[in-house]
């Protein structure tokens, strides 16, 4: 390790370039992981906040809450562990202001006496929905000008609603949620009394179902969210490729440096320095470079997470991020095995030539 450190200090520019490449690739990797978890969270945070274990939908809805409709005759006997829910995409517009705001979001209709409306909404300001003309909005909509007492309407409807509260964790499929009464969902969806809900949310794994309905685990339901699986797969491949690129970078740089120092290594071998010591020095260099580069990248990630605006969907899973950092260091050391083969083949007689 002493030889490794001395050589790094002697060749600051060369090894500094390697550290810079490790920092950049690691930093990009950590940011991509943060974006992946951030976007995934905005897809599912509302579902998780409801304590969902299972979702009951119309069996012909292809596991899609927005496509599902449950008729009164299909509604099973509900317990305190189930809640009816209606979902419809809407455009919400402020009224009575000089400059109106239009926002695309998901309207979620609930019954106030069921467990989601009673116990699962994390109200940060205001209060829960108590009347059919009241709404609770995602707290991020405050940044778009919505306030307690704001008057809004949906689409071409002339009916006005009052914002009475804001809730955190109110996002579904990357869209903000407006919570309201289930009867409002029937009106917005245009189904009247023909259908009572889009689906049933249960905090139990096996809720009761009737003919025409099907129960799905929360994991199955989430995997079927539009774009969710494809989005995560793309990020996972990008992160995997970056890890491979990091290994190639450290291996190629160390290989080039080793080839440039073959004459020096031959002299050291001729002086009686064992090949294993030179190999240990090379592996030690790889370890130092990777550790320094990854630590700098982690610090940059922490700073970036602190200064990014809340509008950017960034969520860091630090245990997993640290695990990936350790894997990067290990893979970098493995990449250093390429120049190790060259060192093993050095012939001390080359120094005499």
Between 164-173, 194-203, 239-248, 323-332, the lowest mean confidence (pLDDT) is in 239-248
190 in the Ramachandran plot: left (φ > 0), alpha (ψ -120 to 50) or beta? left
Residue 117 has pLDDT above 80, yes or no: yes
At 2, the pLDDT band (50, 70, 90 cuts) reads: low
Phi and psi based region of residue 164 (left: phi greater than 0; alpha: psi -120 to 50; beta: remaining): alpha
d(CA 214, CA 133): 32
Q: What does the pLDDT read at residue 300?
A: 94
91 forms beta bridges with 104
**Sequence-distant (≥ 6) Cβ neighbours of residue 146 within 8 angstroms:** 94, 101, 103, 137, 152, 163
- Select the more confidently predicted residue: 236 or 347: 236
**Model pLDDT, residue 351:** 53
Q: Are strands 199-202 and 82-94 parallel, antiparallel or unpaired?
A: antiparallel
DSSP annotation string for 314-333:
----HHHHHHHHHHHHHHHH
C-beta atoms surrounding 141 within 10 Å: 21
Query: How large is the average pLDDT for residues 126-143?
Result: 91
Which of 38-42, 53-57, 138-142, 144-148 has the least mean pLDDT?
Answer: 38-42
| Confidence at 233, pLDDT banded by 50, 70, 90 | confident
Prediction pTM value: 0.78
Q: Which residue has the higher pLDDT, 84 or 315?
A: 84
Residue 110 has pLDDT above 90, yes or no: yes
13-17, 129-133, 216-220: range with lowest mean pLDDT? 13-17
Average pLDDT value over all residues in the chain: 86
- Do 139 and 168 contact (CB within 8 A), yes or no? yes
pLDDT (0 to 100) of residue 183? 93
- Say whether 65 sits in a helix, a strand or coil: helix
Using DSSP's 3-state secondary structure scheme, residue 77 falls into coil
pLDDT tens for each residue of 264-287: 777 777 777 887 887 787 788 888
Number of Cβ within 10 Å of residue 77's Cβ equals 7
Residue 349: per-residue pLDDT: 66
**pLDDT (mean) for 96-109:** 85
Give residue 4's pLDDT: 57
Report the candidate in 263, 277, 260 with the shortest Cα–Cα distance to residue 346: 263
Q: What is the pLDDT of residues 284-299, one digit of tens each?
A: 888 888 899 999 999 9
> Which pLDDT does position 39 carry in this prediction?
82
Give the chain's radius of gyration (CA, Å): 29
Over the stretch 55-82, which tens digit does the pLDDT of each residue have?
Answer: 999 999 999 998 999 999 999 999 999 9
* 5-27: burial string, b at 16+ Cβ within 10 Å, e else: eebbeebeeebeebbebbbbbbb
- Measure the CA–CA gap between 177 and 90, rounded to whole angstroms: 10
Helical segments of the chain, H only: 2-10, 12-49, 115, 182-189, 218-223, 228-260, 262-270, 275-307, 318-335, 337-344
| C-alpha distance across the termini of the chain, in Å | 29
Higher pLDDT, 261 or 35: 35
In the prediction, which pLDDT does 1 show?
59
Of 21-35, 126-140, 327-341, the one with minimum mean pLDDT is 327-341
At residue 125, the pLDDT reads: 92
Cα–Cα dist 340/172, whole Å: 51
């Amino acid at each position: 390790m002493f030889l490794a450190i001395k050589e790094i200090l002697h060749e600051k520019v060369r090894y500094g370039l390697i550290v810079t490449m490790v920092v950049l690739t690691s930093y990009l990797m950590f940011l991509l992981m943060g974006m992946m978890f951030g976007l995934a969270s905005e897809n599912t945070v509302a579902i998780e906040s409801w304590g969902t274990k299972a979702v009951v939908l119309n069996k012909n809805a292809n596991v899609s809450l927005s496509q599902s409709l449950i008729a009164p005759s299909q509604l099973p006997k509900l317990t305190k562990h189930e809640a009816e829910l209606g979902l419809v995409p809407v455009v919400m517009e402020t009224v009575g202001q000089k400059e109106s705001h239009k926002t695309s979001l998901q309207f979620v209709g609930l019954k106030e006496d069921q467990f989601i409306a009673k116990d699962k909404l994390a109200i940060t300001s205001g209060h829960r929905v108590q009347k059919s003309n009241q709404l609770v909005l995602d707290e991020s909509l405050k940044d778009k000008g919505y306030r307690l007492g704001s008057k809004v309407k949906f689409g071409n409807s002339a009916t006005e609603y009052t914002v009475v509260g804001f809730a955190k964790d109110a996002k579904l499929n990357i869209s903000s949620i407006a919570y309201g009464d289930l009867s409002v969902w029937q009106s917005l969806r245009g189904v009247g009394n023909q259908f009572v809900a889009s689906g049933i949310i249960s905090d139990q794994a096996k809720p009761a179902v009737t003919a025409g309905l099907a129960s799905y685990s929360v994991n199955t339901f989430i995997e079927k969210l539009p774009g969710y699986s494809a989005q995560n797969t793309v990020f996972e491949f990008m992160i995997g490729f970056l890890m491979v690129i990091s290994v190639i970078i450290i291996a190629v740089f160390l290989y080039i440096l080793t080839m440039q120092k073959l004459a020096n290594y031959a002299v050291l071998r001729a002086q009686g320095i064992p090949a294993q010591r030179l190999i240990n020095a090379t592996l030690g260099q790889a370890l130092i470079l990777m550790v320094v580069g990854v630590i700098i990248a982690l610090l940059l990630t922490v700073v970036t997470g602190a200064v990014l605006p809340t509008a950017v969907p960034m969520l860091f899973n630090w245990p997993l991020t640290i695990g990936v950092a350790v894997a990067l260091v290990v893979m970098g050391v493995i990449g250093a095995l390429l120049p190790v083969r060259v060192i093993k083949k050095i012939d001390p007689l080359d120094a005499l030539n």
